[in-house]
Every structure is written in structure tokens, then in C-alpha cells.
Amino acid sequence: MEKLDLAELGLRAVNRRLQGREGAEETAFEVTGLKGEHAVAAGLMSPISVTLKGHVGYYCAGMNKQAEIVIEGNAGVGLAENMMSGTVRVKGDASQSAGATAHGGLLVIDGNASARCGISMKGVDIVVKGSVGHNSAFMAQAGRLVICGDADDGLGDSIYEARIYLKGEARGLGADCVEKEMRAEHLEELAGLLAAAGSDADPKDFRRYGSARQLYNFKVDNVDAY
């Protein structure tokens, strides 16, 4: 395991090392000296494991492919934005737009996530052990968002085909987001996601939400309104 002190090396040098651009046989890294810097461990492309020992700023682990990244602190705006694959786990809280536009992989938030968690998600799985802020899963296209706590206003607003599993209460559902039946395949899917995230929550305590599909197409009946 290789130790990297960001305070000493600087952000660019640390990211270059993690991205394997300086020739890398090492597959495990620990980064210290973090003070909320932006874009830490962004653009990683290989199946390495990285532990970030402290708080990180905006866009941490953005665009991640294959790497397994653990943040032992809180994360700023846009955590794991546009992640393609791999795993990102934050032990503290995540700020707004966690997992935004992410295509794949698993994002686990042990604490709470704030507004717009999973906005426009395109295939990522997100498990939040705490609660999420307003407009989470806004325009979410594919993937699963699991919320073990509560959701603030506008959950799943204008959602496409992403699935939301919520254990607590939603303060309000967004446009075109409705509760749906929890069938056996959903319980099984959720059990798998909870296990992957290391949560012992019971899938039976969750409800499922998704798109009512009423916003998909223009309705000819409304033509007079234009």
C-alpha cells in the first residue's frame, strides 16, 4: 500500500499517481493531508483501491472507472459525478448532486446526502444510509436509488426509468413520480443492493417509487394549450 500526502505532493501529483500515469504496479493507496480540495481521485481508470483519509471538496471520484474509493470524511458537491463503474463510499455526509449523471458502479453514502442526490442518474446504484435532500433522483433515467432514511420535497421529479427504494417518508413526490408495487423481484434486487452497501436494513420496510410515464410523450389533447 502506497501512502500519498496531498498537503506535501499537491493535488495534480496525487491524481497523476492514482490515474496510473506514472507507471503503476501498486494497487492500493492511502491519501492523507486532505482539507476539502476539489477533484481528488477524479478520473481513475483501473481497479485499484484508494482510501481518502479526510474531508474532500467538489467532484471527488468523478468519472470513476473500476476503482474502489473510500472517503473517511464528508464529500462536497458532485461526489462520483458521471461515475462509469467501480465503487465509491463516503463514510460521512455527501453534499449536493452526489452521483449526478453516473452511468454505473455503486455509490454508498453512510451518512446523509443533500439536495439532488442522483440527479439525471443513468445506470448507477446509489445507497444512502441516511436521508436525502430535495429533488433527489430528478430526471433519473436508469439505475437504483436506495434511501434508508427520509427524502425531502420533490423526490423523483420528472423521473424516467430509474427505481427508488425508500424506507422512511418522502416529504413530497415530484411530478410524475408515484409509488409502485413492491414485487418479489424488487425485494430481491433491494436485498442485493443493501448487502453490497453493508446495510442490515430489511427490504420489507421499503417502498418502491418510479415513473407514472405521463410526461413521456406530448399529449395531443393538450394541443390547444399551445
Partner 1 sequence: MCGIAGLYLKNPERYGELGRLFCPMLEEMSDRGPDSAGFAVYRGAEEAAAKITLYDPDPAFDWQALAEAMSADMGVPVSVERLSTHAVLHAKADPAEMRAWLERRDPPLRIMSAGRSLEIFKEIGLPRDVLERFGAAQMSGSHAIGHTRMATESAVTTQGAHPFNTGDDLCLVHNGSLSNHHKVGDWLTRQAGIVFQTENDSEVAAGYLTWRLREGASIAEALEAALSDLDGFYTFAVGTKDGFAVLRDPIACKPAVLAETDDWVAMASEYRSLAGLPGVEKAKVWEPKPATVYSWGAA
> What residues does 32 pair with on adjacent strands?
5
Asked if 83 and 102 touch (Cβ cutoff 8 Å), the reply is yes
Cβ nearer to partner 1, comparing 7 with 13: 7
Write out the DSSP string of 73-142.
Answer: S-B-TTTTTT--SSEEEESS-B-TTTTTT--SSEEEESS-B-TTTTTT-EEEEEEESS-B-TTTTTT--E
Site for partner 1 (CB under 8 A): which residue of 29, 50, 57, 80? Answer: 57
58 is a contact residue toward partner 1 (CB under 8 A): yes
Q: Which of 223, 127, 207 is nearest to 173 (CA)?
A: 207
Shortest Å, Cβ 4 to partner 1 = 18
Size of interface with partner 1, in residues (CB under 8 A): 17
Closer residue to partner 1, CB minimum distance, 86 or 154: 154
Taking the least distance from each CB to partner 1, the nearer of 81 and 93 is 93
Q: Residue 29: phi, psi to the nearest 5?
A: -135, 150
Closer by beta carbon to partner 1, 77 or else 140: 77
Among 4, 44, 69, 77, binds partner 1 (CB under 8 A): 77
Contacting residues toward partner 1, per CB under 8 A = 35-37, 55, 57-58, 74, 76-77, 92-93, 95-96, 114-115, 133-134
